[in-house]
Amino acid sequence: MGRRVSDVSATAIVVAGGSGERFGRAGGKQLLEVAGRPVVAWSIAAMAAVRQVDRVVVVCPEERSDEFARISEQATGAIEWALAPSSVTRQDSVLSGLRAVDSSCEVVIIHDGARPLVRPSTVANAILHLVGDPGLDGVVLGHPSVDTIKLVAGDQIVSTPDRATLWAVQTPQIFRTESLARAFQAASESGFVGTDDASLVERNGGRVSVFLAERDNIKVTVPEDAAVAEALLRLRSEEGQ
């Protein structure tokens, strides 16, 4: 009998190295408490709950490693976890996490520590979508744009792209480990800096698809986002989700 795609081994890399200057507090947005626990704890717990995930790597500032270790221990349950040092840029922080991934791992999930609302079931289904198509190198969560987007130069509008072709992209972004490693190597050699992980894979010739995700998978970027996340998490708790 052939191996089922649901048997795939995945490692989640949770990137929590940002300074969070817009929050004006030590530890930034990842350590801000919402609905009874730090934002990053929700993000780590969500990754640990994805049925294909057997290891979580948390990328964090070395000077706060003790704090992140306590959070990771509590949030991962029985899932294996490890810490990796963050860097100055997000791209280098992801690379640090990627270096901590076991060579036998088939799929890598890259998730922002400041996205506490992602649903594990959605991530699990996205992984199935990836491994079920041998021609795919990656899958990114997102949803069709509901806003009209303008290309601008300074304050002048240059053009208006067709909204039907635009998606708002989130994390997690999910990749075959070999494809992501090759893309990061190529980016390092050329000095390319992408706006997200998928852009590195795309630039290296990889095929990446979008996967429809919930719109409430918001990123906590400014204080107002924390209030929204708090309300949504408490609502889920009340509804037993």
Per-residue CA distances from 201 to 40, 125, 206 (Å): 26, 21, 5
Range of lowest pLDDT (1-10, 69-78, 142-151, 176-185): 1-10
Residue 92's pLDDT is 97
Give CA–CA dist 176/132, Å, rounded.
12
Taking 70 as the threshold, does the pLDDT of residue 79 lie above it? yes
Distance of CA 144 to the CA centre of its chain: 18
What does the pLDDT average to over 16-42? 79
Q: Angle, nearest 10°, between helix axes 90-99 and 177-190?
A: 130
Looking at domain 8-236, its CATH architecture is Alpha-Beta Complex (3.90)
Task: Categorize the per-residue pLDDT at 239 as very low, low, confident or very high, splitting at 50, 70 and 90.
Answer: confident
Residue with tokens 């929204």, as numbered in its chain: 228
Residue with tokens 């990656």, as numbered in its chain: 138
Residue with tokens 């190529």, as numbered in its chain: 186
Task: Categorize the per-residue pLDDT at 67 as very low, low, confident or very high, splitting at 50, 70 and 90.
Answer: very high
What does the pLDDT average to over 83-106? 96
- Identify whether the C-beta of residue 174 lies closer than 8 Å to the C-beta of residue 106: no
Residue 3's pLDDT is 42
What does the pLDDT average to over 176-187? 98
Task: Categorize the per-residue pLDDT at 26 as very low, low, confident or very high, splitting at 50, 70 and 90.
Answer: low
Task: Categorize the per-residue pLDDT at 160 as very low, low, confident or very high, splitting at 50, 70 and 90.
Answer: very high
Taking 60 as the threshold, does the pLDDT of residue 5 lie above it? no
Residue 25's pLDDT is 54
Q: Would you kindly state where each structural domain of the chain is located, as residue ranges?
A: 8-236
Mean pLDDT of the chain: 93
Per-residue model confidence as pLDDT tens digits over 117-126: 999 999 999 9
